[in-house]
Amino acid sequence: MSQSRPRRSCLYMPGANERALEKAKTLAADTLLLDLEDAVAPDAKVEARARVCEAVKAGGYGKRELVIRINGLDTEWGADDIRAAAAAGPDGILAPKVSTAAQVTALDKALTEAGASADMALWIMIETPLAILNLKEIAEMAASTRLTAFVMGTNDLAKDMRAEMTPDRLAFQTQLSLSATAARAFGIVAIDGVYNDIKNEDGFKAECEQGRVMGFEGKTLIHPSQLGPCNEIFAPSAEVIAHSNDVIAAFADPDNRGKGVLKVNGKMTELLHLAEARRLVEMDAAIKAMEG
């Protein structure tokens, strides 16, 4: 799974809703999370599985990344979800309530045994207190399995912690930061959790800004109206890209050859800033290609 492709907006789409799956082909989402878990009632899960996998096979989603959120392996639907997803061939699957490294191993093994292609990614929900306590051990599995992304499940985490989801997410600062840190330490994509108050656009924008500042690549969304603000906030701004290009040009200048520290636009700039500038410019190009 490419680490450089945009994942600013990861929109959940209910797998039981045929109209929603068709509508998703027109939405400006970087990633579509085709949901067989929370968004689907128990008596509709088998039908939703067939519908989602048929939609993935049929295609028509353009450059959008397709990830199927399965039911847990400890449910009556999980194993069949994995087998069906492996045959359908999405970009990845998203597994709920992963709390231990052993669960990552089991999911990876199940995908392989189901015949999933080698490049089918494993995304996991970080949404239990035990997952937070086991973050290092879970993240280490990226070196030996398909594990490539953490998705924060802040609603489930709030329920299990008996914590209140305030506008500043005070009760979740540690969990969010530790998750992003573990992801960075082991080369894993980190996606922030959902924002529930669909009509509160200012609150949503503030939470997107908070997630971006904390180091998340993007955010999971529950409604198409959230796509525009999310895509804008998680994209590097024109000013950031202009400065990044200046940094790259300054270090490429023959007069600066061998120098480890420069002044660029009045700011002290080191080689670590050069690496980040290159990443940002690469991401900007990927976003333009996605939207072009």
pLDDT value for 4: 74
How many C-beta neighbours within 10 Å does residue 58 have?
10
- DSSP H helices in 162-270: 173-185, 201-214, 227-233, 238-252
In this structure, what are the phi and psi dihedrals at residue 221, rounded to the nearest 5 degrees?
A: -125, 155
pLDDT digits (tens, 9 = 90+) for 271-291: 999 999 999 999 999 999 988
- Identify the three-state secondary structure at position 219: strand
Percent of residues, the chain, with pLDDT higher than 70: 99
**pTM, two decimal places:** 0.94
pLDDT digits (tens, 9 = 90+) for 234-258: 999 999 999 999 999 999 999 999 9
pLDDT at 48 over 70: yes
d(CA 8, CA 191): 8
pLDDT value for 3: 59
Strand locations in the chain, DSSP E?
A: 9-14, 31-35, 65-69, 92-95, 121-126, 147-152, 189-192, 218-221, 261-264, 267-270
Q: Which of 152, 23, 129, 146 is nearest to 91 (CA)?
A: 146
pLDDT value for 2: 53
d(CA 47, CA 178): 37
Mean pLDDT over 214-219 rounds to 97
pLDDT digits (tens, 9 = 90+) for 57-85: 999 999 999 999 999 999 999 999 999 99
- For the chain, domains (ranges, CATH) are 9-233 (3.20.20.60), 238-291 (no CATH)
Look over the chain and give the mean of its residue pLDDT values, rounded to a whole number.
96
Mean pLDDT over 92-121 rounds to 98
pLDDT value for 291: 85
Within 13 A of 105's CA, how many CA atoms are on the CB side?
A: 5
Beta strands 189-192; 218-221: pairing state: parallel
Mean pLDDT over 215-242 rounds to 97
pLDDT digits (tens, 9 = 90+) for 149-204: 999 999 999 999 999 999 999 999 999 999 999 999 999 999 999 999 999 999 99
pLDDT value for 292: 75
